Structure 1
Amino acid sequence: MKFVIAPDSFKGSLTAKQAALAMATGIRRVFPRAEYTLVPMADGGEGTVAALVDATGGQLVQVPVHDPLDRVVTASYGLLGTSNTAVIEMAAASGLQFVDAQTSNPLLASTYGTGELIKDAVARGVDRIIIGLGGSATVDGGAGMAQALGVHLLNEAGQELPHGGGALTHLTRVEMSELDPRLHQVEILLAADVNNPLTGSEGAARVFGPQKGATPAMVTILERGLAHFATVVKHDCCRDPSRKPGAGAAGGLGFGLLAFTHAEVKRGIDLVLQYTDFARQVVGADYVFTGEGQVDFQTEFGKTPLGVSRAARQVVPGVPVIALAGSLGSGIDALDDDFTAVFAAPSGAKDLHQAIADAPADVALTAENVARLIKRLK
């Protein structure tokens, strides 16, 4: 009997690898002689680097970069073991973890550090870069990233704009003559799970700005700045990716990468499935286990468990797929066609701190109980 175990992380408690190990631990108590294939998953957000590095026997690279508020920090990205590919989570340099309620300011926050990670990967001679667009503290349209790569964003006096989305309304000219030429030889794939454009009612400022601490007045400034940025880029660079799906991802970083590099937006889960060689690993599976921290109505919109289920059933039609979650939300009845069953892992009522501490044991226990049911029904 073969079990394929391919969960995403349980955010705040288990990495994808830890979740997979916990599930395997529980199932082995019932089927100790079964075959187990563990494929930690992600969808382009937190855990993508770890999932792909683990799956390919790659390595982590640490780089000094600037965080969203221009403080020097150490961030890491991955080099895959099976291809000349780097994988970067933009949040590693430009994420919300670098700010708090007192320091968060989307008018000042910059993606410059993400550009520094890209620049380091290019200097190492990679052929391809996968960039996870999620968890950003920024709404600068990728302006800081572009500046780190050699793009000059100039005001009326010919001076470089300061970092942050709040400065974009002062942009007069975009100068690309010093953009790192090596970027033209690198394929860049943007892993995103949102299709928002750069501006408008569904754009980066109005939808995601408040999540990063933007007040209504800040949202107005950011929206105006992003729209102006797109206008100047269109005039000076003859490119206008502002309406492309994903341009608004990560505070508009999607737009900056589409405008200044040869980037293409992909669904994050599809990229992870491809680079973990999931289709090959699921061949012959009798059962597939997946999961993440919360399974609810949003799961059907391209989240990891859904991607795993559909990819598995393309290879092994009708294979039972079981999802385990830290919690279950509303709307899971919409998932009936994609999952054989969905289970919540916590063992009894407990506070958040205790639930996080108990997560490995609870996931293992739930997987064990599912395995016992499988054994009884065989």
Structure 2
Amino acid sequence: MATDAGAWPQRVLVAPDKFKGTLTGPQAARAIADGVRGALPHAQVRELVIADGGEGTVDAALSAGAHARTATVTGPLGGSVHARWAMDEGTAVLELAAASGLQLVNPDPATALGATSRGTGELMVAALDAGAESIVVGLGGSACTDGGAGLLAALGARLLDADGREIHDGGGHLTALARVDLAGLDPRLRAVPVTLAADVRSPLLGRAGAAAVFGPQKGAGPEDVARLEAGLVVWARCLEEATGRDAAALDWGGAAGGSAAGLHAAVGAHFQSGLEVVAGLTGLADQLRWADLVIVGEGSLDEQSLQGKAPIALARRASAAGVPVLAVAGRVAVDRSALADAGIVAAASATEAAGSSELAQGGDAARWVAEATRALLLRSGDGLPVSPSHAER
């Protein structure tokens, strides 16, 4: 590929998701950008982080210019955690995983039953205190299966047993619930819309629900799953009695251990796909109009990616807009035709560049991502198509 100042592409949008367990979204974007500059020293490069609504949503907002904030909140098992969030022109962007995430516990039956979403509610209070006019909650990566009960308690709800006493936190205690009292819910929520961002459409209850599908990932055995399911049944009934909304009827209510259902029932929160939310936060449409080339990325580009994960969803958007797309991943486990169907012209992996997955995931991970990017661009050369609207700029 020629690299003189007049060579195409001139404007490269680097827009990866995190490389889970290896590089954060910003680290991945920086590494890919380094590779672009190594192959195309005269190109303009923009770094943008994308996410599917879970971990990385705050990074995406920050990459687009939002301001970082931190709050000390209750962790999933009690104690304190320092959670980062973002604020941009009145919109607060939070991640449930930062306060109530699976990475904060060692999953076992006790943590599966006892984990609470309370800290996420405290993050929402911090956002309200900071003057948020709208709140986005990224729902992925939860440790809890409490239906958002702890979260709502932090926002002022009272969860009462048959004797009028407040029940303990954790999904394992929801079977003791008799009544939900929302009279003390933070009144500011009436004027502050809440958007729930996720890539999971799972109901609250049943075989495809929060307890059955995700409980085992959080340490729950078969008996624990049954207990969590029974608690969510009680939770849904009490929420409907208190609000008139049937949380169990939502096809997305099981996201984040049912927190989506609780927030919808109590405050009218609405659901939006993670990439749609991130696209709005980052001005993605304008970024695509600017770009001659988009490079997406994630840790593993595989069959699961093709089901609509953020990098593939972005690739399809870019391709539809006439912008060619390359992909750089930790590993690539899909064939060229499947990538082409998703709008990706070519792909490269850090594993291939490094010679082994161990090296690619080690301390020099960023180096191998950069090298994979550089090699991919040099190899792709003039084979990248250019739409007339972009070629004329």
Q: 2:67 corresponds to which residue?
A: 59
1:196-224 per-position Cα deviation (integer Å, ceiling 9, x unaligned): 00000000000000000001000000001
| TM value normalised by structure 2 | 0.91
Superposed, 1:167-246 pairs within 5 Å as: 167-246=173-252
Moved more, 302-311 or 330-339: 330-339
Q: Distance between the aligned counterparts of 1:227 and 1:108, measured in 2?
A: 17
Mapped contact 1:39–1:278 kept (Cα < 8 A): no
Of 337, 346, 369 in structure 2, the residue corresponding to residue 341 of structure 1 is 346
Q: Does 1:50 align with 2:56?
A: no
The Cα of 1:377 is off from its aligned counterpart by 4.5
1:338-363 CA-partner distances (Å, limit 9, x unpaired): 21122222234446476231211111
Q: Percent identity?
A: 42
Which of residues 323, 329, 335 in structure 1 aligns to 2:333? Answer: 329
Residue number in structure 2 paired with 1:288: 294
CA drift of 1:107 comes to 1.2
Root mean square deviation, CA, Å:
1.8
Supply the distance in 1 between the matched residues of 2:114 and 2:35 (Cα, whole angstroms). 47
Count of matched residue positions in the alignment of Structure 1 and Structure 2: 373
Report the equivalent of 1:41: 50
TM-superposed CA distance for 1:171, in Å, is 0.9
Q: Deviations over 1:119-157 (max 9, x none)?
A: 111122211111000111100000000111111110010
Residue 16 (structure 2) pairs with residue 7 (structure 1): yes
Q: Using the TM superposition, give the Cα deviation of residue 373 of structure 1 relative to its aligned residue in structure 2, in angstroms.
A: 2.1
| Cross-structure match for 1:263 | 269
TM-score where L is the length of structure 1:
0.94
Q: Please say which of residues 193-202 and 7-16 is displaced more in the overlay.
A: 7-16
Gap change, CA 1:155 and 1:265, over 3 Å in 2: same
| C-alpha deviation, 1:13, in angstroms | 1.6
Q: Which range moved further: 191-200 or 329-338?
A: 329-338
User: Matched residue of 1:21: which SS?
Assistant: helix
Aligned counterparts of 1:129 and 1:70: Cα–Cα separation in 2: 24
Tell me what 1:306 maps to.
Answer: 312
Cα 1:329–1:351 change in 2 (3 A) is: closer
The corresponding residue for 1:29 is: 38
- For 2:101, the equivalent position in structure 1 comes to 95
Following TM superposition, by how much is the alpha carbon of 1:258 offset from its aligned partner in structure 2, in angstroms? 0.6
Superposed displacement of residue 302, structure 1: 2.1
CA distance in 1, matches of 2:383, 2:327: 18
* Displacement after TM superposition at 1:330 (Å): 5.0
What is aligned with 2:82? Answer: 74
Which digits, 9 at most, give the CA deviation of each residue in 1:297-325, with x for residues without a partner?
111222111121122234x32x2211111
Amino acid at match of 2:94: I
Letter in structure 2 aligned against 1:47 = G
Map 1:309-320; keep pairs closer than 5 Å.
Answer: 309-314=315-320, 316-317=321-322, 319-320=323-324
AA paired with 2:324? P
User: Cα distance, 1:239 vs. partner?
Assistant: 1.2
1:101 Cα deviation from its structure 2 partner? 4.5
Q: 1: CA distance between counterparts of 2:368 and 2:359?
A: 14
Residue segments in structure 1 that go unaligned for 5+ positions in a row:
none
Residues in 2 aligned to 1:117 and 1:331: alpha-carbon distance in whole angstroms: 42
Between the aligned partners of 2:359 and 2:41, the Cα distance in structure 1 is 32
Moved more, 277-286 or 326-335: 326-335
Which residue identity does 1:78 align to in structure 2? A
Distance 1:351 1:343, change over 3 A: closer
Structure 2 spans left out of the alignment, 5+ residues: 1-9, 385-393
Q: CA deviation at 1:253?
A: 0.7
Report whether the alignment pairs 1:141 with 2:147.
yes
The equivalent residue for 1:272 is 278
Instruction: Pick from 109, 112, 125 the counterpart of residue 106 of structure 1.
Output: 112
Q: Residue 55 and residue 258 in structure 1: after superposition, are their counterparts in 2 closer, same or farther (change >3 A)?
A: same
Query: What is the Cα deviation at residue 288 of structure 1?
Result: 1.1
What is the distance in 2 between the residues matched to 1:35 and 1:351? 31
In 2, the alpha carbon distance for the partners of 1:333 and 1:199 equals 38
8 Å CA contact retained: 2:239, 2:247 = no
Amino acid at match of 1:11: K
Q: Which amino acid in 2 is paired with 1:335? A: L
Amino acid at match of 1:275: L
Q: Which amino acid aligns with 1:324?
A: V
DSSP-derived class of the 1:106 partner: helix
C-alpha change, 1:178 and 1:353, in structure 2 (3 Å) is farther
Amino acid at match of 1:10: F
Cα deviation digits, residues 41-77 of structure 1 (max 9, x gap): 1111111101202212x22222121111111222221
Give, in whole Å, the separation in 2 of the partners of 1:235 and 1:116: 25
- Is the partner of 2:201 in helix, strand or coil? coil
1:299–1:207 distance in 2 versus 1, CA, 3 Å: same
Counterpart of 2:71 in structure 1: which amino acid? V
Distance 1:185 1:332, change over 3 A: farther
- Alignment-derived partner of residue 359 in structure 1: 365
Residue 356 to residue 140, structure 1, CA distance change in 2 (3 Å): same
